A and B are shown apart, each in its own frame.
Chain A
Amino acid sequence: MGGVTAADIATYYGTDLIRGVALLGSFPHRNMFSEVVTQWALGFIPRMLDFDLAKFGPTVKEFVESCVAFGDKLDQETKYSWMGAVAGQNPNVRVLSIPHIQDETALMKARMTLPYLVLHGTMDKFVDGLKLKAYMEKNFGNFVFRLWKDVGHAPFWDAPNDANKEIISFTKRLSRVSILSFFFSNRK
């Protein structure tokens, strides 16, 4: 969900503040989530928003395990540190973090030029990778899409070497574009 922050920044500060956006198991903005959400997530998300801590407790463990491709193999240190972060959040914030309103108008004005790197896994339980790819192809004009097998909702965790190489390559490509843009914009 962190990837949708780009839409807020575009709305209130402008897209010229953003050099590029990397979506790591995420999606471009909140209002298109219904187009890519999985059936499993539709059933699970309401439990994450429940005020009843007796119900929320077991949900935390399931949520953390669902973020990676093979949750039952997630090491204990990682599992409990992630669970601690989720459980430590005030319920008033937790229940508002998903339903809050977002205006994607400014972001979508830049959709054909703003560079995107999309890293996604075929085992993502929240966002359907094939549907997301179709959405990107239909609505965005400057993106690189990687859909990896045996990778879940957290591609940076399930496939860190590949993800890190893609991120570094993306930033280097943007840097070169920036230099060229500066050169051409300053020619007399």
Chain B
Amino acid sequence: MKFASLLTSLSLSASTFAVYVTSPDGTKIWAEAIGNPNKPAVVFVPGFSCSSLAFNKQWSDPSMIENLYMVCQFQRVVIQCSYLTFNRFVMMFEVRALVTNLSPTPPTRPNLSLMISKPLSTTSVSESKGQFLLGGI
């Protein structure tokens, strides 16, 4: 199944789509997404030592699922994530890997309501015009 098809089925079933994304330092990060990929993307960033479990009341709310594309990562070393290294740029790397792997396929015509308008390039993020909403505890 192609990624775009997977996302489409995700929006219809409203079930969680989860993948491992890999940070540049090789750490595997558990990330999840739910909602409608054609709606604004919101990246949830858990606070200190917390996980996406904290957002259960957002991820189970039908109105949130209908109106948003919610993405969340587990912080490294929390539950499914591996532990290789840690540095002060860790969250930046993880958000980059997260958006790269979970953002929707670029629409065939401009959809300005999308906050991630295209997947971020892994080599030249600064050239991307894609944007996302960041929600943090």
Contact of B134 among A6, A16, A88, A153 (CB under 8 A): A6
Residues on A with beta carbons closer than 8 Å to the beta carbon of B51: 82, 85
Inter-chain contact A16/B131, CB cutoff 8 Å: yes
Separation of A86 and B110 alpha carbons in the complex (Å): 41
Query: Is A2 among interface residues, defined by CB-CB distance under 8 A?
Result: yes
Q: Which of A67, A86, A90, A164 is the one whose CB lies under 8 Å from B61?
A: A164
The closest CB in chain A to the CB of B79 belongs to A88
- Whether B88 is near chain A, meaning CB under 8 Å from some CB there, is yes
Which residue of chain B lies nearest to A45 when distances are taken between CB atoms in the complex?
B48
A132 within 8 A of B: no
Q: How far is the CA of A23 from the CA of B135 in the complex (A)?
A: 6
Interface residues of B (CB under 8 A from A): 39-40, 42, 44-51, 53-58, 61, 63-64, 67-68, 74-79, 83, 86, 88-89, 91-92, 95-96, 110, 112-113, 115, 125-126, 128-137
14 contacts between A and B (CB under 8 A): A5-B45, A9-B92, A14-B126, A19-B115, A24-B135, A26-B137, A85-B53, A86-B49, A89-B77, A93-B86, A96-B86, A160-B57, A171-B39, A171-B133
